[in-house]
């Protein structure tokens, strides 16, 4: 993941930029207020005029220039006028230049504030040589304060505010990050302690960053883990229950064989034992297949499958069993239906459904197989003409080890349709069963068509 593309990065960047802007704006305003109203030395315009006149008399124009430069460093722009002409030129604003002759002609001290935060002073002075001169001074403050001191005050305000705002933003960011992380940690510890129902359930308001996504993914994972564990516990419970009967029968058969006097009688018992062992082997094989599918079918290879050929091949394999029953197999199919998936698994699913249909069909009956295109799906419908299933049991047909009330006398252990359902699901399809009109059960498998 690239950091610059994460919403968490941009959220942090925006808040730190906002904090810096607040520091600059508020720090500047507070520093100006502090400079204007706190400790400073008020300007003595009369003394400033005498200093300027003395600098001019002692050093001429060069001495005045040095004095002007010194005052500029202290935040005051000033010069001397004689006969309404500046003895050293300084920059004057146009409005100030226009009003200056009037102020100089007044011939007395004048201190004005043309606009807030800007002061202009006219101060007459008579030199030792007897010449009358006038000081023109301008300052952004009514108080004398060195620019270096002004900068230090501004820097101090910005430093204090930076620490304050960065501390507040850092606290808020740490809190917004720590809360979901703490919720994740607590939920993880609860799940590790066996409480599989633990969830983060993180609600972060308007934030939809990576932490919120992580919390959502964690909850999805927890739901999946809880469902898998519950399923495995249920399968283990059902399996232990189902294994009791054949093991008990096997124990009884072997005990009877041990007690038999004649070899022929013992041979019959051993044959029954072999049948029970074969039944146990089939049950365990189906259980392993179902568990592997429930685990996500690691390494399942997908290929393009032509369902028409696959369905016809399954019917041919089932024809021997159908002839022994006897049951007719009828096929109605589309010209072509291509899906993506595992041929072995799809064949196994079709074989299981066909075996059930043949098993529950009456002698002389028929099993009807239909393959057609249903929008973006290939629909395979397998119908028998047997006793059907009570409506209350239809939703339970795909549960492992479930055997309906009509299957009491039929051989099997209730895993076939559970395996079929899982195969269809991992292929992105669906399966349902319903009682057909006129009797019998109809099972429909829908698999998504492969893209061209």
Res. 289 pLDDT band, cuts 50 70 90: low
Q: What is the mean pLDDT of the chain?
A: 78
Q: Which of 295, 310, 338 is the last residue of a domain?
A: 295
Tell me whether residue 191 is in a domain: no
What is d(CA 59, CA 53) in angstroms, rounded to the nearest whole number? 10
Tell me whether residue 216 is in a domain: yes
- Clarify whether residues 311 and 392 are in a common domain: yes
pLDDT score at 367: 93
- Clarify whether residues 45 and 134 are in a common domain: yes
What is d(CA 427, CA 425) in angstroms, rounded to the nearest whole number? 5
Contact 153, 34 (CB under 8 A): yes
- Clarify whether residues 49 and 170 are in a common domain: no
Which CATH number belongs to the domain containing residue 72 in this structure? Answer: 3.30.450.20
- Clarify whether residues 8 and 27 are in a common domain: yes
Say whether pLDDT at 223 is over 60: yes
Q: Which of 295, 328, 345 is the last residue of a domain?
A: 295
pLDDT of 294-342, one tens digit each?
A: 555 444 567 889 999 999 998 988 888 888 888 999 999 888 889 988 8
Tell me whether residue 406 is in a domain: yes
Say whether pLDDT at 37 is over 50: no
What is d(CA 350, CA 362) in angstroms, rounded to the nearest whole number? 20
Res. 9 pLDDT band, cuts 50 70 90: low
Contact 42, 36 (CB under 8 A): no
- Clarify whether residues 310 and 425 are in a common domain: yes
Residue whose tokens read 């057609």: 372
Say whether pLDDT at 141 is over 80: no
pLDDT score at 185: 84
- Clarify whether residues 27 and 73 are in a common domain: no
Contact 79, 64 (CB under 8 A): yes
- Clarify whether residues 65 and 203 are in a common domain: no
- Clarify whether residues 104 and 31 are in a common domain: no
Tokens of residue 280, six digits: 């146990």
Kind and range of the H or E run holding 323:
helix 307-324
Mean pLDDT across 281-289: 68
Q: Calculate the CA 89 to chain-centre distance.
A: 67
pLDDT of 68-115, one tens digit each?
A: 988 887 778 899 998 888 999 888 888 888 888 888 888 888 888 877
- Clarify whether residues 324 and 444 are in a common domain: yes
**Which residue range is the domain that position 239 belongs to?**
196-295
pLDDT score at 256: 84
Res. 140 pLDDT band, cuts 50 70 90: confident
Tell me whether residue 51 is in a domain: yes
Say whether pLDDT at 379 is over 90: yes
Choose from 154-168, 209-223, 409-423 the range with maximum mean pLDDT.
Answer: 209-223
CA atoms within 13 Å, Cβ hemisphere of 157: 19
Q: Which of 162, 186, 210 is the last residue of a domain?
A: 186
Domain count, the chain: 4
Tell me whether residue 400 is in a domain: yes
- Clarify whether residues 221 and 264 are in a common domain: yes
Share of the chain above pLDDT 90, in %: 13
- Clarify whether residues 133 and 200 are in a common domain: no
pLDDT of 107-133, one tens digit each?
A: 888 888 877 767 888 899 988 888 889
Mean pLDDT across 358-381: 90
Tell me whether residue 395 is in a domain: yes
Say whether pLDDT at 246 is over 80: no
Contact 68, 90 (CB under 8 A): yes
Tell me whether residue 368 is in a domain: yes
Would the CA dihedral through 314, 445, 361, 283 be positive or negative? positive
pLDDT of 428-445, one tens digit each?
A: 899 999 998 888 899 999
- Clarify whether residues 370 and 257 are in a common domain: no
Which CATH number belongs to the domain containing residue 325 in this structure? Answer: 3.30.565.10
Tell me whether residue 129 is in a domain: yes
Residue whose tokens read 């397998």: 382
């Amino acid at each position: 993941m690239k950091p610059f593309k994460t919403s968490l990065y941009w959220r942090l960047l925006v808040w730190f930029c906002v904090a810096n802007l607040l520091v600059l704006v508020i720090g500047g305003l507070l520093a100006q207020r502090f400079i204007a109203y706190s400790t400073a030395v008020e300007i003595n315009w009369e003394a400033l005029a005498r200093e300027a006149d003395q600098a001019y008399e002692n050093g001429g124009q060069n001495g005045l220039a040095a004095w002007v430069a010194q005052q500029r460093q202290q935040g005051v722009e000033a010069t001397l006028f004689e006969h309404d002409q500046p003895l050293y030129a300084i920059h004057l604003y146009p409005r100030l230049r226009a009003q200056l002759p009037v102020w100089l002609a007044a011939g007395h001290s004048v201190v004005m504030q043309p606009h807030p935060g800007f002061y202009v002073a006219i101060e007459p002075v008579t030199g030792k040589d007897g010449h009358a001169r006038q000081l023109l001074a301008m300052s952004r403050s009514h108080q004398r304060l060195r620019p270096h001191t002004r900068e230090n005050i501004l820097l101090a305000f910005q430093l204090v505010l930076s620490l304050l705002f960065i501390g507040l933003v850092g606290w808020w960011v740490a809190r917004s990050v720590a809360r979901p992380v703490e919720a994740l940690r607590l939920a993880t510890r609860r799940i590790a302690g066996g409480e599989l129902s633990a969830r983060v359930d993180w609600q972060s308001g308007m934030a939809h960053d990576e932490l919120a996504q992580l919390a959502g993914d964690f909850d999805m994972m927890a739901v999946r883990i809880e469902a898998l564990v519950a399923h495995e516990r249920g399968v283990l419970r059902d399996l232990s229950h189902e294994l009791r009967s054949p093991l008990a029968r096997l124990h009884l058969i072997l005990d009877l064989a041990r007690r038999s006097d004649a070899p022929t009688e013992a041979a019959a018992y051993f044959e029954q034992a072999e049948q029970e062992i074969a039944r146990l082997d089939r049950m365990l094989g189906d259980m392993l297949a179902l568990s592997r599918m429930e685990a996500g079918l690691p390494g399942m290879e997908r290929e393009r499958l032509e369902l028409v050929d696959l369905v016809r091949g399954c019917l041919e394999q089932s024809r021997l069993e159908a002839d022994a029953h006897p049951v007719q197999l009828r096929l109605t199919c589309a010209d072509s239906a291509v899906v993506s998936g595992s041929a072995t698994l799809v064949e196994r699913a079709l074989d299981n459904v066909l075996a059930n249909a043949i098993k529950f069909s009456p002698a002389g009956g028929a099993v009807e197989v239909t393959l057609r295109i249903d929008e973006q799906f290939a629909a395979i419908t397998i119908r028998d003409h047997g006793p059907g299933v009570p409506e209350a049991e239809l939703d339970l047909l795909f549960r492992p080890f479930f055997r309906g009330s009509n299957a009491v006398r039929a051989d099997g252990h209730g895993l076939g349709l559970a395996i079929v359902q899982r195969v269809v699901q991992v292929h992105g399809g669906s399966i349902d069963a319903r009682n057909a009109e006129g009797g019998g059960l109809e099972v429909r498998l829908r698999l998504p068509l492969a893209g061209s």
